[in-house]
Chain A
Amino acid sequence: MNREIALTVNKNAVTTSVEPRLHLADFLRGELGLTGTHLGCEQGVCGACTVIVDGKPMRSCIMPAVACDGADVVTIEGLDNDEVAGSLREAFSAHHGLQCGFCTPGMLIASRDLILRQGDCEEARIREELSGNLCRCTGYMGIVAAVKAASAGRKPQAASQEAGAQQVATASAAAAMAAPSKAAVATAQTVSGTDGWTELTQRVKVAADAETTWRFLHDIPRVARCLPGAEMTSFDGGSITGRMVVKFGPIKASFGGEGTLVFDEAKRSSILRGAGRDTGSGSQASGEVIYTLLPDAAGACEIDIRLRYRITGMLAQFSRGALIRDLVGRLTEAFAQNLAAAVTGHESASAPREISAGELLWAVLIRRIRALFGRPCT
C-alpha cells in the first residue's frame, strides 16, 4: 500500500507516494534519478550509500523512504556548491583519492561531516572516523591524504550542546513479573558443532516413575505440545506432519514439514527425525531428537534428550547465525521443562504456539536465577 510523503531533497520539495518497503537509496536513484548515491552491500556495512538526513550522514540503504517523510535529505549531487565538499573534491583529485569511484560519494559525505565536526584532523582520527566506509581500490592512502589536506587549518563548527534535562524526579513503577514455580530441575546443556550439525544435550528429572513417563512419551500430541511453537497436524503412528514456528528477534520462521517417530521399547528410547522448510526465507531445517529414559530412585526418573539440528539457507548464513544456538538451547530447555511438568499433569491448558519471550516461562526463570546467582542453574 503506497504512502504519501513530502520531503526536501537537495533543497527541492518532493511530494510523492512510495511503497513502504522502498529504501531511501532506491528512492533517490530510481525515482529521482539521483544516481550519485551508490549501493554496495545493502546491509548497512559498506557506506557507499551514505547521504545526509537532517544534517547528519546516514545509511540510505537501510532506511525506508517512507520514514523520511518531512526530512531534509542531501545527496552528493546537492553538494555541488558546498565549500567543504568543493575543497574535498579538489583534494581527492590532487591526492588520487579515488580509482573506480564507487565508494567516493559516501567517502565525501562522511569526510565532509568529519571536517565540520572536528575541523583540522590528524591521520589517526581520519582513519577512525572513515572506518564505516569501505574502499577496495586505494588502500585509503589517497583518501586519508585528501581529507587531511582539505581539513588543514579548519576549525570545528560550534560544539554540540548538552540537552536541557528536566530536573524532575521520576516515580518509576517496578512491576515484578510473576514467576511460576515448578518442581522439575534440568541439568546444564552442552553445545557442540560438527559438520554444520549442532548438538545439544539436556537432562531433565521427572517426578514420576519410569513406567508412567514412558507411557506419556507415547502420547505424541501431548509431547508435541511441550515444544514451544510446534503444532502437529497429523500423526498416524509412525509419521508426523506439522509446523514449527520460531521467533528470533525480528526474524520469524515457520517450518512446515514431516517426520518419523520410532520407539525402542526395550531400551526405552525413541528417535524423532524431521525436516521442514520455511517458505518465507527459503531456509530448511532438519533434526533429530533422541530421548532415553533413565530410571531413578523411588518413583522418579530422568529423561536424557539429545538434539541434533542443522539449518541451511539464509537463516544460517546471515552474520549472527551462531546465535541460533542460544535460541535452540532455550528451546530445548523449555521443552525439557514442559515435558517434565506434563508427565506429572502440570502442563498448561493452552500450549505455547511459538517460542517467544513471554511464553518461555521456564527459560525466563532459569535465566533470572542464573543472573541472580551468577552461575548456570542446575
Chain B
Amino acid sequence: MKPVAFDYHKARDVGDALTALGAHDGDAKPVAGGCSLGPMLNLRLARPAKLIDLRAVGELRQLVRAPDHLMIGACWTHAEIEDGIVPDVTRGLMRQVAGGIAYRPVRNRGTIGGSLAHSDPAADWVTTMAVLDAGILISGRSGTRRESALSFMIGAYATTLQADELVTAVEVPVLSAGARWAYHKIARKTGEFALAIGAAVHDPARDYARVVCGAVEAPPLLLPRTSEALRESPSAAMKAAEAEIDTLLSAHDGIFKQHHNVAIERALAELGR
C-alpha cells in the first residue's frame, strides 16, 4: 500500500520545526528516522497533513558532556550509539541495548529521540531511559522543559508531549565506575518486539538502584520494592521481585507475568554475576 498524500517540510532548526508543527493544528507530524512512522504511513494508519523532517536540524545532533550526565541530541541513531560514536557513559548498557534494536539497516536510520517520542511500550529506549532515570528534554513554542523518562510516557504510543512540542535530547546519567547493570530481553526472534524486558541498574556510589519491567503493553513498570532490595543485593531483589510483579501486573494472565518475572530474575542474576 502507498501512503495518502502529505506535504513535507525540511526543518532548518528547532524554532522552524516548532513553527511548522504549530501551523497545522496537530495534523503535522515530526519525523526523524521514520522507522515506526514509515510503516504506519504505508499502511495508511497514519495520515498526517504534513511531515516535518528533523534530520537536517543541527541542534538535534548535539552531544554535551556534563560531570554527571551526557546530553545526547534526539537525532543520533541507534547504530551510532551501538558503534560507540556516541560516547557511552553507561558502562556499556546503551551500546548493548542499541545493538539489540531491530536490525542494522533500521538502526542506521532510527533515532533515540524518535523512539522515545513514539513510545512503543516494547521499544528498548523507553525501558532503558526509565531504568537509568534519564531526562527527556522537550522544546515547545512556550519554552523548554525536562521530564523524567518514567513520567514522560503515559501509555502505549502516548507521552506528555504536546502536538507542537519536540523531544530535542536525552540527558543520560553517568554511571560510576562501580556501577552494575543488566538488560534481559525475551523475544521470539532476533529484532522482534520483546515479550518482556528486565532492566536493572545498581550504582552504589550514587546511591542509586532501580529495577524496571519493560514491554508491559504500557509504560515501563518501576518495581520500587525490588529496587530498594537491590541496594542490599541482587538476590534480595530477586526475592522481592516475584510478589511485586504479580501485584503490579495483576490485570495480566499468568504467562505474561511469568515472562516478566523471568526477565527480571535473569537480569538480576546477570547483575549479580
A and B part of one assembly: yes
Q: Is there contact, CB below 8 Å, between A162 and B85? A: yes
Task: Report whether A177 and B160 are in contact in the complex, using a CB–CB cutoff of 8 Å.
Answer: yes
Question: A175 to B136, alpha carbons, bound, how many Å?
Answer: 11
* Contact between A21 and B1, CB atoms less than 8 A apart: no
Residue of A nearest to B221 (CB): A374
> Which listed segment binds B: A62-70, A298-306, A341-349?
A62-70
Min CB distance A281 to B, Å, is 6
Q: How far is the CB of A316 from chain B (nearest CB, A)?
A: 11
Kindly identify, within residues 83 to 103 of chain B, every residue whose CB is under 8 Å from any CB belonging to chain A.
Answer: 83-87, 102-103
Interface residue B137 (Cβ < 8 Å from any Cβ of A): yes
Cα distance A376–B216 when bound, in Å? 14
Q: How far is the CB of B12 from chain A (nearest CB, A)?
A: 13
**Interface residues on chain A, number (Cβ under 8 Å):** 86
Complex CA gap A322/B256 in Å reads 13
Asked whether, in the complex, the Cβ of B158 is within 8 Å of the Cβ of A168, the reply is: no
Report 22 cross-chain contacts, Cβ distance below 8 Å, ordered by A residue: A21-B41, A26-B2, A42-B1, A58-B108, A110-B105, A131-B190, A133-B103, A162-B87, A165-B63, A166-B64, A175-B146, A177-B160, A248-B158, A252-B46, A281-B45, A320-B157, A326-B217, A330-B155, A356-B26, A357-B160, A367-B151, A376-B248
Given contacts A43-B39, A166-B65, contact A69 B10 (CB under 8 A): yes
Instruction: Please measure, in the bound complex, the distance between the C-alpha atom of A50 and the C-alpha atom of B71, giving whole angstroms.
Output: 31
Chain A residues with CB under 8 Å of B66's CB are 168-170
Contact call A56/B191, Cβ cutoff below 8 A: no
- Provide the residues of chain A in CB contact with B31, threshold 8 Å: 67
* Cβ-neighbour of B154 out of A43, A129, A167, A360 (below 8 A): A360
Contact count A vs B, C-beta below 8 Å: 252
1/0 per position for A104-126, CB-CB distance to B under 8 A?
00000010011000000000000
Rounded to whole Å, the gap between the CB of A61 and the closest CB of chain B is: 7
Q: Interface readout for B129-157 with A: 1 if CB under 8 Å, 0 if not?
A: 00000010100000111110011001111
Given known pairs A357-B158, A357-B161, the reply for A63 and B85 (CB within 8 Å) is no
Q: Is the CB of B38 within 8 A of A315?
A: no
Residues of A within 8 A of B4 (CB): 21, 280
Indicate if A173 sits at the interface (CB-CB under 8 A).
yes
Q: How far is the CB of A324 from chain B (nearest CB, A)?
A: 8
Point out the residue from A23, A132, A160, A375 that lies within 8 Å of B85, measured CB to CB.
A160
Contact B40 A59 (CB under 8 A): no
Stretch at the interface among A137-145, A187-195, A268-276: A187-195
Chain A residues numbered 188-214 whose CB sits less than 8 Å from any CB in chain B: 188-191
Instruction: For the A-B complex with A1-B7, A248-B157 known, give 10 more contacts whose Cβ atoms are closer than 8 Å.
Output: A57-B104, A131-B189, A162-B84, A165-B63, A170-B66, A173-B146, A175-B145, A175-B146, A249-B40, A318-B45
User: Is B42 touching A42 in the complex (CB atoms < 8 A)?
Assistant: yes
| B13 → chain A closest CB, angstroms | 17
Are B45 and A62 neighbours in the complex by a CB distance under 8 Å? Answer: no
